[in-house]
A and B are shown apart, each in its own frame.
Chain A
């Protein structure tokens, strides 16, 4: 079993829909959770960075961490075609430890 599981998709939704992207993990020591967005032929861009459990909101994006279930989510409200990209989750115990990556979910927003 991989330490971090993420459905590769593709996930296709109509413009304006709420998108839910998820990762599950097995290591209870993880405390730092990140979501990256990667456009084709570009490096991943950090979207959200959260510590421990709870929600964090930034514009149309909300990151949610449920440590009891070992489950993290990224919600995108009012999705736009420009949100079409691959979204990767990553996590670690602290900043000195290696990042463990999800496989990435390809998201397609249809106009």
Chain B
């Protein structure tokens, strides 16, 4: 139990376009989900906390207009990278607060060309 999925697993997009990443809790309801960004061989950096039915809470330095988060249901949160640039290329990981702790998704590799 307590599985978190992400889609897509990998995406390549052109500079200036927008990309949506989905995070789903498959077998539990999650009122709270988290979005992280990871640079190679570095720790996960918390970007924002997503609460179902309310606005996300962004960490300092994260542009809320660039990284749009929507948590419309208890099993789905989405992160949209708007007007993507090459410096947005990274590994994006979500997690969901579940019955016995925090469960991580497998990550989405975003490459902006």
Q: Which residues from chain B contact A38 at a C-beta distance below 8 Å? A: 102
Q: A43-B34, A104-B101 are in contact. Are A98 and B106 (CB under 8 A)?
A: yes
Residue tally, chain B, CB below 8 Å to A: 23
**In chain A between 85 and 104, which residues have their CB closer than 8 angstroms to a CB of chain B?**
86, 88, 90, 95-101, 103-104
B60 contacts the other chain (Cβ, under 8 Å)? no
A46 contacts the other chain (Cβ, under 8 Å)? yes
Query: Measured between C-beta atoms, what is the minimum distance from B40 to chain A in Å?
Result: 6
B106/A46 in contact, CB under 8 A = no
The residue that A45 contacts in the complex, of B43, B93, B109, with Cβ under 8 A, is B43
A71 contacts the other chain (Cβ, under 8 Å)? no
A43/B106 in contact, CB under 8 A = no
